[in-house]
Amino acid sequence: ETGVTQTPRHLVMGMTNKKSLKCEQHLGHNAMYWYKQSAKKPLELMFVYNFKEQTENNSVPSRFSPECPNSSHLFLHLHTLQPEDSALYLCASSQVGTTSINEQFFGPGTRLTVL
Amino acid sequence: AQSVTQLGSHVSVSEGALVLLRCNYSSSVPPYLFWYVQYPNQGLQLLLKYTSAATLVKGINGFEAEFKKSETSFHLTKPSAHMSDAAEYFCAVRGTGNQFYFGTGTSLTVIP
């Protein structure tokens, strides 16, 4: 595997289900991100992890719970979601703390549908 | 605070014609600017980035962008559109704490 991978690619869940999204980066980066992409809206940054520590939580509802066990893996745990949470969830990684300006590398996303 | 505005949510061009996608930024500090492309059912892929070196930045797939401080713009261009260029394009600016702020995207359609 190369780059940033995400599983599953598609997920359909009921409002009472509990599921998890997984992201893995194979780039040796030290920062990882979760974004929500909804139609006609800018990408919404949800969570940021630098060196496995959460540094940003942009007012995300508690029904979304991130976990970063190491610098290569990032999870998004989902429970009691709402239909408006249906979206494409993108994971990204980057290298921070250097003098160069490093872009974010994105995974293919998980298309989530909440019924 | 940093932000970007993409003018035109949809752009259509004929195959072989010039592609121009507009992006204006707002930043209280010298900006670092990026263009990403997203093909259907895929994540975002970096096209090019501006990091205060040359104002004309060349990227992949024949795209380039010019940083114009006086106009606070970073428009994306390609001299001749190809069918494979049909995708969603996002402009982004890097803010503090390494956060990226993305525009709402421009959907490019290439007409044969």
Mean of pLDDT values over B68-80:
95
**Residues A104 and A92 sit within 8 Å (Cβ to Cβ):** yes
pLDDT of residue B89: 97
Give the mean pLDDT of chain B.
Answer: 92
Residue B99's pLDDT band (cuts 50, 70, 90): confident
* Interface test with chain A among B44, B46, B94, by most A beta carbons within 10 Å: B44
Instruction: Please tell me if residue B9 touches chain A, with a CB cutoff of 8 Å.
Output: yes
Write the residue in B41, B43, B90 that is nearest to A107 by C-beta: B43
CA–CA gap between residue B109 and residue B112 (Å, rounded): 10
Beta-strand runs (E) in A51-109: 53-57, 64-70, 73-79, 87-94, 105-106
SS3 A26: coil
**Residues B95 and B38 sit within 8 Å (Cβ to Cβ):** no
Instruction: Please tell me if residue B14 touches chain A, with a CB cutoff of 8 Å.
Output: no
pLDDT digits (tens, 9 = 90+) for A84-110: 999 999 999 998 876 667 889 999 999
pLDDT of residue A100: 67
**Residues A50 and A8 sit within 8 Å (Cβ to Cβ):** no
Query: For residue B1, what are the CA distances in angstroms to A47, A108, B5, B26, B31?
Result: 19, 29, 13, 7, 11
- Give me the residues of chain A with pLDDT under 70, please: 1, 98-100
Residue with tokens 């501006």: B50
